[in-house]
Amino acid sequence: MLFRQRGPRQALRAEAVSPTRRGLLALGCACCLGALPIGPAAAQSPDVARHLAAARAAAGEDLRPWLALGGAATPGNAPGPSIEALMAQPAPPAARAFDNLAFIGAKWVSAWALTTSDGIILLDALNNEEEAERLIEGGLRKLDLDPARIRRIVVTHGHGDHYGGATFLKQRHNAAVVMSEADWRMVETELEFDVPQWGRPPRRDVAVGDGDVIRLGDTGVTVLSTPGHSPGTISLIFDVRDGQRSERAMLWGGTAFNFGRRPDRMQRIESYIAGTRRAKQVAARENITVLLSNHSGYDEADRKLQARQPGRTNPFVIGQEAVQRALTVIEECALATQAAWRT
Ligand SMILES: [Zn+2]
């Protein structure tokens, strides 16, 4: 309950990020408040330096935004922007990333609509009712999609920037909310993060676990359990189509290491690291060529949406090798953070 300990008037801060790239300060999520940066005086241990170097090597030039995850292990990083500043950023226009996948998110937290033969599977529900109405419903209409066709609302993890608009949409469109058992339990008992700007948690509809397939019409979304960011974070695997081409996509369900000084933070980051390793194996086996995030600062969704042009290579398709490298960046940043906490 880090937020409450800080007092209601103190500006809430998002995760500290690396200053190495323009735009990184716009990253993060409000549920990253607990990511305590190492102070300027802290020496960087050889283990931390080794893992951060491995992350940079894996990132190359094309995947640098994911390096922001190393911010919590980097000495001297300044706190990120406040949640008010993050939420005030103008949203990118709603647009299709693929023929069957639309971006209808805010600037710093994303929502995606996967269209099927029997309605829409919404992937995350933004911060609150106002954003759900303006960005999700408004975005769908702009793309000639009917919000009344939302049938499932999949929440990747139980933090309010992903479930905040779920109750409003569920009630308005009679859709079922889907979340992992562990995160249902968390939001039903004690929220690990909360701010007044977030809608209240939805009531339980469907609990899913590793390997489950969320089916709607002609579409299946496979659940991959990747706990760590929250107790029951899930990542999602599904097909995306672009004209005649079909690609396999993974939506990484929880990014930052927002554990603060919580007593179980070492177990949480161990789970996170194990999740990245498993995700790499699954991504190789399933030939995942698209890696999406629920924060566009990592996958650069807003830039890629603008760059997508008919007949040209879809910028969201980065290829299997780059997906593996991105997951390595995430893993190495987690290992660096773990090493920083040990010293
Ligand atoms: Zn979160």
- What is the model's pLDDT at position 205? 98
Which pair of structure tokens corresponds to residue 39? Answer: 């102070």
By 3-state DSSP, what share of the chain in percent is helix, strand and coil, each rounded to 5? 40, 20, 40
Q: d(Cα 221, Cα 239) in Å, to the nearest integer? A: 8
Mean pLDDT of 267-288: 98
Compute, in angstroms, the gap from residue 199 CA to the centroid of ligand 1: 14
9 or 293, which is more confident:
293
Q: What is the DSSP string of 172-218?
A: HHTPEEEEEHHHHHHHHH--S---TTSPPPPPP-EEE-TT-EEEETT
Lowest mean pLDDT among 6-15, 197-206, 227-236: 6-15
Compute, in angstroms, the gap from residue 307 CA to the centroid of ligand 1: 28
Evaluate if residue 237 carries a pLDDT over 70: yes
Q: d(Cα 269, Cα 187) in Å, to the nearest integer? A: 20
Q: Tell me the pairing of strands 234-242 and 219-225.
A: antiparallel
Residue ranges per structural domain of the chain = 40-342
pLDDT tens readout for residues 115-145: 999 999 999 999 999 999 999 999 999 999 9
Contacts of 89 (CB under 8 A, 6+ apart): 26, 106, 107, 108
Compute, in angstroms, the gap from residue 229 CA to the centroid of ligand 1: 6
Evaluate if residue 79 carries a pLDDT over 50: yes
Compute, in angstroms, the gap from residue 121 CA to the centroid of ligand 1: 20
Mean pLDDT of 329-333: 98
Compute, in angstroms, the gap from residue 30 CA to the centroid of ligand 1: 7
Evaluate if residue 72 carries a pLDDT over 90: no
Compute, in angstroms, the gap from residue 313 CA to the centroid of ligand 1: 31
Q: How many CB atoms lie under 10 A from the CB of residue 306? A: 12
Question: Which phi and psi angles does 194 have, rounded to 5°?
Answer: -160, 145
Q: Smallest Cα–Cα separation from 83: which of 34, 30, 32, 31?
A: 30
- What is the model's pLDDT at position 73? 83
Instruction: Specify which residues 101 forms β-bridges with.
Output: 98, 114
- What is the model's pLDDT at position 82? 86
Mean pLDDT of 238-243: 96
- What is the model's pLDDT at position 43? 62
- What is the model's pLDDT at position 17? 28
Q: d(Cα 163, Cα 155) in Å, to the nearest integer? A: 6
- What is the model's pLDDT at position 262? 86
Compute, in angstroms, the gap from residue 32 CA to the centroid of ligand 1: 7
Compute, in angstroms, the gap from residue 137 CA to the centroid of ligand 1: 22
Compute, in angstroms, the gap from residue 195 CA to the centroid of ligand 1: 12
The pLDDT mean for the chain works out to 88
- What is the model's pLDDT at position 22? 28
pLDDT tens readout for residues 143-166: 999 999 999 999 999 999 999 999
Lowest mean pLDDT among 45-49, 83-87, 183-187, 222-226: 83-87
Q: d(Cα 6, Cα 144) in Å, to the nearest integer? A: 44
Q: d(Cα 156, Cα 252) in Å, to the nearest integer? A: 8
Compute, in angstroms, the gap from residue 328 CA to the centroid of ligand 1: 20
Evaluate if residue 256 carries a pLDDT over 70: yes
Compute, in angstroms, the gap from residue 97 CA to the centroid of ligand 1: 23
Compute, in angstroms, the gap from residue 285 CA to the centroid of ligand 1: 27
> Which fold, 40-342?
Metallo-beta-lactamase; Chain A (3.60.15)
Q: How far apart are the first and last CA of the chain?
A: 25
Q: How many residues does the chain have?
A: 343
- What is the model's pLDDT at position 44? 80
Compute, in angstroms, the gap from residue 269 CA to the centroid of ligand 1: 14
Compute, in angstroms, the gap from residue 22 CA to the centroid of ligand 1: 23
